[in-house]
Structure 1
Amino acid sequence: MKVALFAKPITALAITLSSTIGFVLLSHSHQQLSSLKSKTHTHSMANNRSFIVWLHGLRDSGPANEPIKSLFTSPEFKNTTWSFPSAPSNSVTCNNGAVMPSWFDVHELPVTANSPKDESGVLKAVQTVHAIIDKEIAAGTDPNNVFVCGFSQGGALTLASVLLYPKTLGGGAVFGGFVPFSSSIVEKISPNAKGTPILWSHGMADTTVLFEAGQAGPPFLAHVGVSCEFKAYPGLDHSISNEELRYLESWIKTCMPGSS
């Protein structure tokens, strides 16, 4: 009889424990599912995120170029992060040694296809750009969604940064730029980097970086094995037009993963 007396309380206790354990398991399972969904959402957002680095020209600054991003209004740029770094102050030979924001030294103006090149300065500046890209990729952005763009000296640095990066990026866009190194640099270009497409735009009335300097870009890239689209703008001087930026927006969209 004593066994019978204790049977109900023990059963009740067992039911209570079972219910509690079930609730804990369900709660833990729900937390795991929520965590998984959160991680999946974060990963999905990172994969859909694009990143654009804009490199300014000689004597300019990053913040002065930030209005450019307001022109990119297509839905594809809803999750785009922009970076507008500023060059350090350096002595510039073409300006009589004056100290000003400069990614590397420029020996003469106008820049021609055969102007002297500050290759050591370029390689140092490339490290700065690569650090920016590395940080973004480490945060989860797909390298194929990373784009480097630049004007004039920044365009030359764009070219160097893209060609010397160890991964294939979404693209590099050069505006009024020039090739900042000799053919000896070809040996440092990785097979992955050769898969990054280049857009090269140049004003035909440019008297600062001559049109011939821009025209030297596509043959150089063809020799390297890099795809390049070259666009000449009649009447455009050493500046960037809204027409160029509108085309850049459409070009980047075609380079994004999953574009038709």
Structure 2
Amino acid sequence: MASSAANRSFILWLHGLGDSGPANEPIKTLFTSPLFTNTRWSFPSAPSQPVTCNYGASMPSWFNIHEIPITSNSPTDESTLLKAVQKVHSMIDKELTAGTDPKNVFVCGFSQGGALTLASVLLYPRTLGGGAVFSGWVPFSSTSSIIEQITQEAKRTPILWSHGIADGTVLFEAGQAGPPFLQQIGISCEFKAYPGLAHSINDQELKCLESWIKSRLQSSS
């Protein structure tokens, strides 16, 4: 049925360092609006690989992280980041091939998954429904050649950024540095600070995500 493909949406959730996709699946139970009846969710798991901040030991990780806590000046690892971005892009491509409108595709992620979300939507050549970053950071430098690869279409993808002020793992300053960085390259970003929230995600953030996606689904239907 062509109409069901037209109304179909896709939400890709990228977990944080050391976590797994299945552990995050309960998130979808909070999305109770009938608008999500045609939503396909995907909760992939990162491969296990050596991580510098884990003393070189292997753990589920999308790309290499040099230090924790992450500050606004932490070193980045662009080659492993770009490999992870390619994986995310192939998941999105598969969904578009199945008939989903790119404007109904949403990439969301927590912590390392949030950083990967940001890089993935910025480097995807088309405008997507949105990218939602929770407790994340910008995983490349302001002098990176990655910036030159961001298309005008990608710059139109809306970004929602949520960060706990009490975060001791990815410091609030690392999150706060995101929106001005994006603004400089011509990308608008909605930033929400959560007082008292440490390095975790709460129901309030997820309810906000639900209404944020909902408003975009309606506008694209």
- In the alignment, which residue of structure 1 is the partner of 2:190? 229
CA–CA distance in structure 2, aligned partners of residues 250 and 202 of structure 1: 17
- In the alignment, which residue of structure 1 is the partner of 2:132? 173
CA–CA distance in structure 2, aligned partners of residues 206 and 255 of structure 1: 29
Matching residue within 106, 109, 115 for 1:150: 109
Q: TM-score, normalised by structure 2?
A: 0.97
**Percent identity of paired positions between Structure 1 and Structure 2:** 75
**Partner deviation per Cα, 1:69-102 (whole Å, 9 max, x = no partner):** 0110001101100000110111011111110000
**Partner deviation per Cα, 1:160-212 (whole Å, 9 max, x = no partner):** 00000010000000000000001222101011000100000000000000000
Alignment of 1:92-103 (within 5 A): 92-103=51-62
Alignment of 1:98-113 (within 5 A): 98-113=57-72
CA contact (8 A) 2:114 2:134 kept: yes
Kindly indicate whether residue 149 of structure 2 is the aligned counterpart of residue 188 of structure 1: yes
Matching residue within 74, 77, 94 for 1:118: 77
CA contact (8 A) 1:144 1:257 kept: no
How many residues are matched? 219
CA contact (8 A) 1:137 1:143 kept: yes
Alpha-carbon offset, residue 257 of structure 1: 4.8
- In the alignment, which residue of structure 2 is the partner of 1:15? none
CA–CA distance in structure 1, aligned partners of residues 220 and 53 of structure 2: 43
In structure 2, list runs of 5 or more residues that go unmatched.
none
The change in CA–CA distance for 1:138 and 1:259 in structure 2 (over 3 A counts) is closer
CA contact (8 A) 2:103 2:220 kept: no
Q: In angstroms, what is the RMSD of aligned CA positions?
A: 1.0
In structure 1, list runs of 5 or more residues that go unmatched.
1-41
Q: TM-score, normalised by structure 1?
A: 0.83
CA contact (8 A) 2:9 2:40 kept: yes
Whichever structure has more helix as a proportion of its residues is: 1
| 2:12 partner SS | strand
Alpha-carbon offset, residue 114 of structure 1: 0.3
CA–CA distance in structure 2, aligned partners of residues 259 and 165 of structure 1: 19
CA contact (8 A) 1:145 1:257 kept: no
- In the alignment, which residue of structure 2 is the partner of 1:46? 5
| 1:248 partner SS | helix
Runs of 4+ that moved beyond 6 A: none
Bigger RCO of structures 1 and 2 (CA < 8 A, at least 6 apart): 2
Question: What is the one-letter code of the residue matched to 2:205?
Answer: E
